[in-house]
């Protein structure tokens, strides 16, 4: 009898591929194992076995596989089912899901570039002959392709050798120049070496008798230390001894104290009272009960709790329940919120049981987490991760928590699969028969809609923990402020007063402006010309710090011109403002304050994001200016004031979700103020302070916001009332694009009638020299989504058979556009 396997390859082709195998191989192979296979003329790919059978392919002769790469499956049947769902729902191929789901170290192929890991300590005597040949070759040549390795070891199948070298950390792969993710460093102090004996200590205290402040610090260190070996952070010491930074610094300089750093996630905590799980207050308990009841009915459940209401502590209780049952737990977070703040907090409770899965992790670390989850080892019983952690090989998943479920960054826009992690998590929970909790202070309209329609369970916490008041919100009419000359630059007098007061009180301030750079537009005062990007249809943003004009879409940049390119006039002015300008103004207005900035430009470098957060947390800065990066679940203790520089730019965004997003963003950034006893203050500047969304933000009136947004979505047939699929066409030739989009939308209209909108150019109609055009298909809830998608795919097939259109890229975004 003949044997065959169906294999999925990590490429964007619809089909799976059938290869022939020997009867022996058929006995070994199980779905979910990897094999290396020849493809096309000379390529080798790593593929994943889907099925073993006896039916030869009809239209081609099956090739033989090269080699079996695994001893046991690395992907389980539930995962394959989940991938199928993702591929179908988001209209991409299984291969694309596979490429995105598996760590790329699992997917060696002939085109993969291999480099030597120059940091590795290699013991050459431990290498097998073939491994040594590759290692040696990499001493002479920086990069090798897989097929070149084949030539070197004179063998066709080299993937096993490369897998071994990867395991041993001797090589790495070119696509993987990921930054090594490094959790933040915390500054700690201990007594200097010379003072460790009792005698030396006594002498020290005597010598300090005339420096009462310093001796106070030393004594405090002792009291804090007690009998434990627990590290003492500088911040704790300053607070406890009631002393200033300068005093501690002086002691460090005298070498009486010694400063050291520990990676925050490497600190081992004594299991003292700090790390036992907190007792919930009555409101948290009520929420927990409601969640448990709803879980019993197997319902997806939404926890809506105002900022700082203690949602995280509720999650912690739930996690420990499932932990006791021996289940796996997945804690999903938006990428940017993966701060060590939260990780540390959970580690204090659950210690070693937590693994973090982060796109900034390097290839080995990600493979390690994958394998730990696969083998269900204790270290990975709880996984905290961004959206891609959905694809880990969970076996016995009991609970999924989607924190900040409203966050747009759960949606992957590029490349395919263009999936939404919250929605894909709900499907995953269903496949595992596990429970799933969505949490947010500002739930997405669709989740709240599902609560209203009885589809989801619901729990709520309406007040902050410890009776801390919600911040006091104030709207400032900026037009009025300008008219009455009560403004300096982009700061109203009200905002300036509040900043002043916070600074005097030694409290910190966050200033939010959702635009980076100095100004989004440079304009010639003589002729009105504004410099545009040559690759994209946008104005160039002025970055003063680098004296450049930059495109935020393709990265193009050029030196700041001294005169207008159109008329030669030197009178150039800027329009609008970004974080750089806010930073510059605030430095001029408050020359004594220490000011920092957090946006894409300041967080590019290695660990820059962590550094800024740590430094702000440790109060090395008074004022932090930033973009929406600041809004994500950060817990700063000493921030008393949040200033929103200009709310209007959020409201005017051309997107049916703009109002919802504005509400969420402003509420979240306001939530950073006053998280401890003293009531926080928020000032929102706007040219349009009577806008209903701003009113709803200041009164915390989520329900009215929801009702109005739902009304609008009903009117205009947007989700969650209708379903939508956005089809984007992309091509470098303007005419080809127009014709292609016309043809496609024509065919759609014949099928679906009036629910097809477009084709239309998006607000930015050209990016990286590719023109873009969108078509929107709105689908009534009563229609079958599956059938609609199949119809669209059918149309795409005919479209692709027209040779002129074949080079036009067709991109689908389902639900979240």
The binding site for Zn(2+) comprises: 524, 527, 533, 536, 551, 554, 564, 567
Alpha-carbon distance 520 to 541, whole Å? 4
Residue 804 touches which of ligand ADP, Zn ion, none (Cβ within 5-8 Å per kind): none
Stretch that binds ligand ADP, among 66-74, 304-312, 377-385, 656-664 (CB under 6 A): 304-312
Closest by CA to 534, choosing from 763, 768, 736, 765, is: 768
3-state secondary structure 557-583: EEECCCCCCCCCCCCEEEECCCHHHHH
Stretch that binds ligand ADP, among 42-50, 280-288, 381-389, 731-739 (CB under 6 A): 280-288
Alpha-carbon distance 420 to 410, whole Å? 6
CA distance to 84, 406, 734, per residue, from 538 (Å): 38, 29, 17
For ligand ADP, the closer of residues 96 and 403 by Cβ is 403
For ligand ADP, the closer of residues 214 and 308 by Cβ is 308
Residue 553 touches which of Zn ion, ligand ADP, none (Cβ within 5-8 Å per kind): Zn ion
Total number of residues binding ligand ADP (CB under 6 A)?
15
Residue 569 touches which of ligand ADP, Zn ion, none (Cβ within 5-8 Å per kind): Zn ion
User: What's the token pair of residue 446?
Assistant: 């669709």
Number of other CB atoms surrounding residue 315 within 10 Å: 22
DSSP track, 618-661: TTS-SEEEESGGGGSS---SSEEEEEES-THHHHT-SSTTHHHH
Closest CB 382 distance from ligand ADP, rounded Å: 17
Helix (H) / strand (E) containing 140: helix 129-140
Alpha-carbon distance 32 to 323, whole Å? 27
Closest CB 406 distance from ligand ADP, rounded Å: 13
Closest CB 528 distance from Zn ion, rounded Å: 7
Among 117, 243, 281, 548, binds ligand ADP (CB under 6 A): 281
List the strands of the sheet with 681-686, edge to edge: 472-477, 681-686, 639-644, 508-512, 623-626, 595-598
Residue 524 touches which of Zn ion, ligand ADP, none (Cβ within 5-8 Å per kind): Zn ion
User: What's the token pair of residue 768?
Assistant: 């990286």
CA angle 588, 589, 595 (to 5 degrees): 70
Alpha-carbon distance 680 to 670, whole Å? 9
For ligand ADP, the closer of residues 66 and 313 by Cβ is 313
3-class secondary-structure state, position 23: helix
For ligand ADP, the closer of residues 284 and 372 by Cβ is 284
Among 95, 305, 334, 393, binds ligand ADP (CB under 6 A): 305
Beta bridge partners of 355: 383
For Zn ion, the closer of residues 555 and 786 by Cβ is 555
Closest CB 423 distance from ligand ADP, rounded Å: 22
User: What's the token pair of residue 87?
Assistant: 């591929």
Residue 176 touches which of Zn ion, ligand ADP, none (Cβ within 5-8 Å per kind): none
Stretch that binds ligand ADP, among 127-135, 275-283, 497-505, 691-699 (CB under 6 A): 275-283
**Contacts (CB under 6 A) with ligand ADP, residues 631-690:** 635
User: What's the token pair of residue 82?
Assistant: 């989940």
* Residues flagged as binding site: 524, 527, 533, 536, 551, 554, 564, 567
How many residues appear in the chain? 817
Distance of CA 644 to the CA centre of its chain: 23
3-class secondary-structure state, position 728: strand
Burial 292-313 (b: 16+ CB within 10 A, else e): bebbeeebbbbbbbbbbbbbbb
Site residues (CB under 5 A) for Zn ion? Answer: 524, 526-527, 529, 533, 535-536, 551, 553-554, 556, 564, 566-567, 569
User: What's the token pair of residue 364?
Assistant: 């080995």
**For residue 545, which phi and psi values (nearest 5 degrees)?**
-60, -40
Fill in the per-residue mask, 458 to 487: x = in contact with ligand ADP (CB under 6 A), - = not in contact.
-------x----------------------
For Zn ion, the closer of residues 506 and 568 by Cβ is 568
User: What's the token pair of residue 150?
Assistant: 């084949």
Residue 533 touches which of Zn ion, ligand ADP, none (Cβ within 5-8 Å per kind): Zn ion
For Zn ion, the closer of residues 539 and 709 by Cβ is 539
Closest CB 773 distance from Zn ion, rounded Å: 18
Residue 394 touches which of Zn ion, ligand ADP, none (Cβ within 5-8 Å per kind): none
For ligand ADP, the closer of residues 263 and 278 by Cβ is 278
User: What's the token pair of residue 435?
Assistant: 């429970």
Question: Is 519 within 8 Å of 548 (Cβ atoms)?
Answer: no
For Zn ion, the closer of residues 56 and 568 by Cβ is 568
Closest CB 411 distance from Zn ion, rounded Å: 23
**Contacts (CB under 6 A) with ligand ADP, residues 308-367:** 308-313
Among 53, 249, 254, 278, binds ligand ADP (CB under 6 A): 278
For ligand ADP, the closer of residues 18 and 309 by Cβ is 309
For ligand ADP, the closer of residues 346 and 792 by Cβ is 346
3-class secondary-structure state, position 741: helix
Beta bridge partners of 548: 543, 559
CA distance to 9, 92, 429, per residue, from 109 (Å): 10, 21, 32
**For residue 635, which phi and psi values (nearest 5 degrees)?**
-120, 90
For ligand ADP, the closer of residues 284 and 513 by Cβ is 284
Stretch that binds ligand ADP, among 181-189, 276-284, 410-418, 805-813 (CB under 6 A): 276-284
Alpha-carbon distance 447 to 709, whole Å? 13
At how many degrees (to 10) do helices 702-716 and 658-670 cross?
160
Closest CB 769 distance from Zn ion, rounded Å: 9
Closest CB 233 distance from ligand ADP, rounded Å: 16
Among 220, 307, 381, 450, binds ligand ADP (CB under 6 A): 307
3-class secondary-structure state, position 475: strand
Closest CB 539 distance from Zn ion, rounded Å: 10
Alpha-carbon distance 387 to 407, whole Å? 11
Alpha-carbon distance 348 to 61, whole Å? 58
Number of other CB atoms surrounding residue 659 within 10 Å: 21
Residue 526 touches which of Zn ion, ligand ADP, none (Cβ within 5-8 Å per kind): Zn ion
**Site membership for ligand ADP, residue 289 (CB under 6 A):** no
DSSP state, residue 337: G
At how many degrees (to 10) do helices 77-89 and 94-101 cross?
120
Stretch that binds ligand ADP, among 98-106, 273-281, 474-482, 788-796 (CB under 6 A): 273-281
Closest CB 350 distance from ligand ADP, rounded Å: 15
Residue 479 touches which of Zn ion, ligand ADP, none (Cβ within 5-8 Å per kind): none
User: What's the token pair of residue 278?
Assistant: 């907190």
For ligand ADP, the closer of residues 287 and 397 by Cβ is 287
Residue 305 touches which of ligand ADP, Zn ion, none (Cβ within 5-8 Å per kind): ligand ADP
Among 280, 337, 397, 549, binds ligand ADP (CB under 6 A): 280
Stretch that binds ligand ADP, among 5-13, 290-298, 301-309, 622-630 (CB under 6 A): 301-309
Residue 311 touches which of ligand ADP, Zn ion, none (Cβ within 5-8 Å per kind): ligand ADP
Residue 739 touches which of Zn ion, ligand ADP, none (Cβ within 5-8 Å per kind): none
Helix (H) / strand (E) containing 339: none
For ligand ADP, the closer of residues 152 and 697 by Cβ is 697
Contacts with ligand ADP, residue ranges (CB under 6 A): 278-281, 284, 305, 307-313, 465, 635
């Amino acid at each position: 009898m003949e044997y065959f396997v169906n294999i999925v390859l990590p490429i964007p082709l619809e089909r799976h591929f059938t290869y022939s195998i020997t009867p022996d191989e058929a006995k070994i192979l199980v779905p979910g194992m990897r094999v290396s296979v020849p493809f096309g003329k000379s390529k080798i790919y790593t593929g994943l076995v889907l099925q073993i059978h006896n039916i030869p392919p009809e239209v081609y002769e099956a090739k033989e596989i090269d080699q079996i790469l695994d001893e046991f499956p690395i992907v389980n049947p539930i995962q394959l089912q989940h991938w199928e769902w993702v591929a179908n729902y988001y209209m991409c191929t299984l291969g694309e899901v596979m490429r995105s789901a598996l760590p790329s170290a699992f997917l060696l192929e002939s085109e993969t570039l291999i480099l030597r890991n120059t940091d590795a300590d290699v013991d050459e005597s431990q290498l097998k002959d073939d491994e040594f040949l590759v290692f040696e070759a990499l001493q002479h040549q920086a990069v090798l392709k897989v097929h070149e390795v084949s030539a070197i070891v004179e063998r066709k199948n080299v993937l096993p050798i490369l897998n071994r070298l990867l395991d041993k950390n001797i090589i790495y792969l070119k696509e993987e120049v990921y930054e090594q993710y490094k959790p933040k460093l915390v500054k700690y102090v201990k007594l200097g070496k010379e003072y460790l004996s009792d005698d030396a200590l006594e002498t020290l205290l005597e010598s300090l008798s005339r420096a009462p402040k310093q001796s106070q610090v030393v004594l405090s260190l002792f009291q804090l230390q007690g009998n434990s070996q627990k590290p003492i952070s500088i911040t704790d010491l300053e607070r406890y001894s009631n002393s200033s930074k300068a005093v501690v610094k002086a002691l460090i300089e005298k070498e009486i104290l010694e400063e050291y750093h520990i990676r925050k996630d490497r600190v081992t905590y004594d299991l003292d009272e700090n790390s036992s799980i907190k007792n919930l207050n009555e409101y948290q308990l009520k929420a927990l009960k409601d969640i448990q009841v709803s879980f019993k009915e197997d319902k997806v459940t939404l926890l809506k709790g105002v900022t700082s209401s203690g949602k995280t502590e509720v999650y912690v209780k739930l996690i420990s329940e499932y932990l006791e049952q021996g289940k796996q737990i997945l804690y999903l977070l938006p990428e940017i919120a993966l701060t060590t703040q939260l990780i540390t907090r959970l580690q204090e409770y659950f210690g070693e049981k937590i693994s973090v899965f982060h796109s900034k992790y390097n290839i080995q670390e990600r493979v390690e987490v994958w394998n730990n989850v696969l083998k269900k080892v204790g270290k990975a019983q709880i996984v905290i991760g961004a959206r891609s952690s959905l694809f880990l090989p969970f076996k016995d998943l009991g609970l999924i928590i989607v924190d900040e479920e409203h966050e747009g960054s759960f949606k992957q826009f590029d490349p395919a699969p263009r999936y939404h992690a919250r929605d894909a998590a709900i499907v995953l929970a269903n496949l595992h028969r596990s429970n799933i909790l969505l949490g947010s202070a500002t739930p997405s309209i669709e989740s709240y809609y599902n609560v209203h329609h009885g589809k989801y369970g619901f729990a709520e916490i309406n007040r902050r923990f410890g009776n801390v008041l919600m911040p006091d919100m104030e709207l400032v009419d900026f037009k009025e402020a300008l008219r009455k000359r009560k403004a300096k630059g982009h700061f109203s007098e009200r905002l300036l007063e509040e900043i002043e007061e916070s600074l005097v009180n030694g409290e910190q301030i966050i200033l939010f402006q959702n635009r980076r750079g100095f100004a989004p537009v440079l304009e010639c005062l003589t002729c009105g010309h504004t410099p545009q990007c040559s690759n994209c249809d946008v104005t160039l943003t002025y970055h003063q710090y680098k004296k450049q004009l930059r495109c935020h879409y393709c990265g193009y940049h050029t030196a700041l011109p001294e005169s207008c390119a159109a008329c030669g006039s030197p009178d150039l002015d800027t329009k609008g403002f970004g974080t750089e300008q806010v930073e510059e103004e605030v430095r001029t207005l408050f020359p004594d304050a220490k000011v920092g900035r957090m946006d894409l430009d300041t967080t590019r470098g290695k660990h820059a994001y962590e550094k800024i957060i740590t430094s702000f947390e440790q109060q090395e800065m008074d004022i932090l200016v930033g973009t929406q990066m600041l809004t994500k679940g950060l817990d700063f203790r000493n921030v008393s004031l949040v200033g929103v520089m200009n709310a209007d730019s959020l409201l005017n965004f051309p997107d049916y979700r703009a109002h919802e997003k504005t509400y969420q963003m402003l509420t979240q950034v306001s939530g950073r103020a006053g998280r401890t006893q003293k009531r926080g203050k928020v000032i929102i500047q706007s040219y349009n302070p009577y806008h209903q969304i701003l009113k709803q933000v200041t009164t915390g009136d989520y329900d009215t916001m929801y009702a109005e947004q739902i009304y609008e979505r009903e009117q205009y047939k947007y989700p969650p009332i209708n379903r939508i699929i956005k089809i984007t066409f992309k091509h470098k030739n303007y005419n080809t694009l127009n014709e292609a989009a016309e043809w496609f939308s024509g065919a759609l209209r014949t099928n679906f009638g009036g629910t097809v909108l477009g084709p239309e150019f998006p607000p930015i109609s050209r990016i990286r020299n590719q023109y873009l055009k969108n078509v929107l298909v709105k689908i009534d809830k009563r229609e079958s989504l599956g059938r609609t998608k199949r119809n669209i795919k059918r149309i795409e097939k005919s479209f692709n058979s027209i040779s002129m259109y074949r080079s036009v890229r067709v991109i689908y975004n389902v639900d979240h556009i």
